[in-house]
């Protein structure tokens, strides 16, 4: 019988075929100990979206979005201190239709992040971990965010 090293076997056959023919013995090490042969937790792509996970992802997305909004607000203040010309430029950008669209998105993003952030603070204090509570506070946060955003936009529009 010819002696074939794993290396030469790999060269002769595609990797996935060789691996399928030579399964690794399961050895439990580290965090694996006691898991048995149970499957690993599924990847995000195949995991069914739930209210909790989607709201959590949105918290992060709106946080990154708010960063851009904060930079715009800083620009607005810096321009106001610089002078009328610099201020009129950023004011023109923000009051254009595109600027209004950005401001509308920013308002909703901000109010969501604020309301869901309060929910996070509630969790940090040790409350609201039961599934029905998580669902209720989530719905309350979304409703409050929507009302707050509409209110803020109306205040801005009316004045």
Partner 1 sequence: MTMLTPRARVRGLGSAKGGTEHWWTQRLSAISLAVLAPFFFIPFAIALGKPWLEVVSMYKHPFNAIVAALFMLAVFHHMRLGLQVVIEDYIHAPALRTGLIIAVKLGTLLLGFAAAFSIGMIAFAV
Q: Give me the residues that bind partner 1 (CB under 8 A), please.
A: 60, 63-64, 66-67, 70-71, 73-74, 76-78, 80-82, 84, 87-88, 91, 94-95, 103, 110, 114, 117-118, 120-121, 124, 152-153, 155-156, 159
CB distance 107 to 149 below 8 Å? yes
Nearer to partner 1, 23 or 30 (CB): 30
Residue 10 or 94: the one with the smaller Cβ distance to partner 1 is: 94
Measured between alpha carbons, how far is 152 from 73 in angstroms, rounded to an integer? Answer: 15
Instruction: Output the smallest distance, CB 23 to partner 1, in A.
Output: 29
Here the tokens at position 83 are: 């002078």
- CA separation for the pair 129, 116 (Å, rounded): 14
CB of 41 to partner 1, least distance (A): 17
Nearest-angstrom CA–CA distance, 131 and 122: 14
CB of 80 to partner 1, least distance (A): 6
CB 65 within 8 A of CB 105: yes
Q: From the CB of 52, what's the least distance to partner 1, in Å? A: 18
Structure-block tokens of residue 44: 């995000």
């Amino acid at each position: 019988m010819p002696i074939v090293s794993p290396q030469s076997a790999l060269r002769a056959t595609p990797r996935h075929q060789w691996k399928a023919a030579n399964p690794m013995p399961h050895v439990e090490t580290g965090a694996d100990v006691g898991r048995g042969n149970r499957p690993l937790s599924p990847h995000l792509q195949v995991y069914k979206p739930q209210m909790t996970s989607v709201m959590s992802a949105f918290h992060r997305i709106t946080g990154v979005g708010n960063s851009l909004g904060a930079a715009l607000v800083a620009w607005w203040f810096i321009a106001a201190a610089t002078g009328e010309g610099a201020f009129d430029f950023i004011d023109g950008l923000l009051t254009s239709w595109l600027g209004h669209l950005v401001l509308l998105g920013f308002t909703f993003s901000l109010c969501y992040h604020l309301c869901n952030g309060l929910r996070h603070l509630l969790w940090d204090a040790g409350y609201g971990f039961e599934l029905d509570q998580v669902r209720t506070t989530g719905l309350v946060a979304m409703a409050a965010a929507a009302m707050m955003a509409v209110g803020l936009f109306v205040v801005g529009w009316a004045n």
